[in-house]
Amino acid sequence: MAAHKKIKKAAMNQQLLTNIYQLKKDWKNLESIMERSIEPTEQGRFDLALAKAKYFYLLKEAKYRKVSAGD
């Protein structure tokens, strides 16, 4: 039973890291678009702030779980 729990936890941790990498990519992509935009829209600024907030939230969650890319 404990081995099953450990495998499930490892899979969840890996998914968390995958989500962090994807959110960082999305955030940086939106940031790049906004920097090149002549007149950034309010929606664009909102999307950028949301992507950044999600990324930092998941980083905080990973820290709480003591998950790192080196695990």
Report pLDDT digits (tens) over 3-49: 778 788 889 999 999 999 999 999 999 999 999 999 989 999 999 99
- Region 54-66: mean pLDDT is 94
- What residues does each domain of the chain span? 17-65
Concatenating the DSSP letter of every residue in 1-36 gives -HHHHHHHHHHHHHHHHHHHHHHHHHHHHHHHHHHH
Radius of gyration of the chain (CA): 16
Sequence-ordered list of residues with C-beta below 8 angstroms from that of 30, at least 6 positions apart, any chain? 44, 47, 48, 51
pLDDT classification of 69: cutoffs 50, 70, 90: confident
